[in-house]
Chains A and B, each alone.
Chain A
Amino acid sequence: MKKLIQMTINDRAYEVAVEPNKTLADLIRYDLGLTGTKKGCDTGDCGACTVILNGDPVNSCLVLAVQADNAVIETIEGLSTDDGLHPLQQAFVEKGAIQCGFCTPGMILSAKNLLDKNPAPTEAEIREGISGNLCRCTGYQKIFEAIESTRS
């Protein structure tokens, strides 16, 4: 039986009826059309589906949409503003931290969460902060440099 849930995604309120067996990742991508959130492994290993749920980054493939009732969610689409890209997004572009781009939304959201909570992370903290996000192009060093360039 479908359940009616409410959530705020990127400051916009949504009310949707969802089947209990729908994951948050599928809801965001296929029902709401926010395809910046990627699906890689679908088992919580790769981090491509990272979203920020009530202030904490999570694998949205391992959250049921019904569990996100009343949640506040941030996806990669919520980062840029009318003024342009978020500083982290800009840094990823400038440092060549994007190859195929599939891990990028998750990487940037993990990095954003890290910098929001700890504006001046050490090298080890940056590496730990993105350790739940796999890059199959193995461009980790450029990603690290992009994040490092935006810390205060």
Chain B
Amino acid sequence: MNPYFLEYSLVAIAGLIFGAALERGRMCFVLATNNMIMARDSKILEGILWAFGISVLAFGIIESLGIVPIQAAVTGVFPSGWYDLVGALLFGFGIGLCGACMSGLIFRASSGFTQNWMQLFGILVGTIFFAFLIFPLTNFLYWILHTIPWLSIKPGFSDYIPHEWFGNAVWGPFVVALIFGGFFLVLGLYLTKRRFAKISKERGENYKEPIITWNMLKFKEPYSPRLGGLLFAVVAIIVLLASYFTVHKVTYMGVTTPYGSFDTYILAPFINLYTTVGHYKASFLPKISSNWFQIVPVAIPMTLFVITTFAGATATAILGGEFKWRVPKRKIMFLQNFIGGIFTGVGARIALGCNIGTLWSGFLMFSWAGALFLPTLVLGMYLALKFQQAIW
């Protein structure tokens, strides 16, 4: 069997599961943060922490046992540095304006939330804006790879924490996973226990939440945070193993670069994206880059993954009786989502990924990308919240 066919097909199955986990588990970083800040409700945040914790630990075990050797795992590690901080700030502000992160966008748009379709449109426009203006004008690729070494870490072993800390020791990934994954799991467990204790006190009885029930499996009830988190981890593991055992090339989770592919598929019949239209000459820059579309693959497994994720989320929304076209009461929200989408698209491109591709995958690939992305992401979301409170 053609290994590429097998890889794409397996990754597509993972996409369906991911869509179901997103839609049923309401897994959205903005929703998690807003609920935590405004309502002190930790339920969705718990799901995200469980997802991070379980998946990071699983990746550590997989790499330490040599199921996916360290040498193969590092081939997928991309550089991290100052651009994670800058990109995450813009990205955080954008998703804060829209009220949905990249994962939240998928499940909301798939359930019929119209303003999130506008956010998606904004992201596609933002990606084009980045590809033809920011990318060539700032000579983006060059700055990332060469000119600010003290603020940039090169891909591969240079940005692989187990190698930095423990050299070539095979147990290195497991120990690093235990530190990062353990932290997420302990925090998730603490928040879950605290929420149970709070509900128990309110109801005057011992409250416990099952991880999985028949009603969850029949799409009658939303998934528990722990089930949502577990499915996230399963999806990341399927993507990693499917890519390694089929075409021997490691793939980590990511959803924003596939949005660039959507641009390609939508615009290709009308304009040639690989043209040098975006090839500007700026004499003060050391090297001229072409437009961004010229350096990204035409199709990556994650493109099909994102489409099946949309399909999975729409199917579970229908099966759960929750699909409905929802139009915001204030029509200005369409404009806000479009502008927020542009910020989201540009920010994600500057940071080389979004809350999935750089934040989550940053931890999964044991690089510094996730840790660099997180603080300014939260700052961006906080600024967007304050901005909205000021103007509305």
Do A and B bind? no
Residues of B that sit less than 8 Å from A by CB: none
